[in-house]
Amino acid sequence: MCGGVQARVADQVWKIYFPNPKAALPVLQADGTTEWVLWGRRREEPGHLPTTGWARHDSITAGKWARYQPRTVSILAERFMEKDAERVSHWFDLEPGQALEGLLLETGIERRVYVVTTTSPEGYAWAHDRWPRLHTNLRDTAQ
């Protein structure tokens, strides 16, 4: 389900884990810059946005997130981490030009990004039944 992300921004490598309440992910902005946006919301955090760090793709297409007027964004990452049934961490590399698909929600002063998930690709269900949805890094297609 993507419990961790490794990102490289300005030649610095960051490992970000969802349980950390300060976890933020690098999101590609329309002008080509990168902005760090808080990753989801935890139960103990104040706010009105959903208390999770993930958004199932099928729930997005079914309109369950529509009331938040979400925007699809690219989360700039090199790798992501899944924990298997024994809670062992496994890291998976993204291909050059790929990004994690994110769902950006804003309401009032609250602004958060959620990792979009789908079913695991064939051969990877051993790691987790949900998998981050990958798409083309929009920065790479603009060049």
Q: What is the pLDDT of residue 114?
A: 98
Q: What is the pLDDT of residue 9?
A: 82
| Domain housing 19 | 4-141
In this structure, what CATH number is given to the domain that contains residue 47?
3.90.1680.10
Mean pLDDT of 13-21: 95
Structure tokens at 70: 């979400």
pLDDT over 70 percentage in the chain: 94
Total of domains in the chain = 1
Strands 110-119 and 34-39: parallel
The pLDDT tens digits of the residues spanning 55-106 come to 999 999 999 999 999 999 999 999 999 988 888 999 999 999 999 999 999 9
pLDDT band at 140 (very low <50, low <70, confident <90, very high): very low
Closest listed residue to residue 52, CA positions, set 122, 128, 95, 105: 105
Lowest mean pLDDT among 26-30, 72-76, 92-96, 138-142: 138-142
Q: What is the pLDDT of residue 126?
A: 72
Q: What is the pLDDT of residue 138?
A: 54
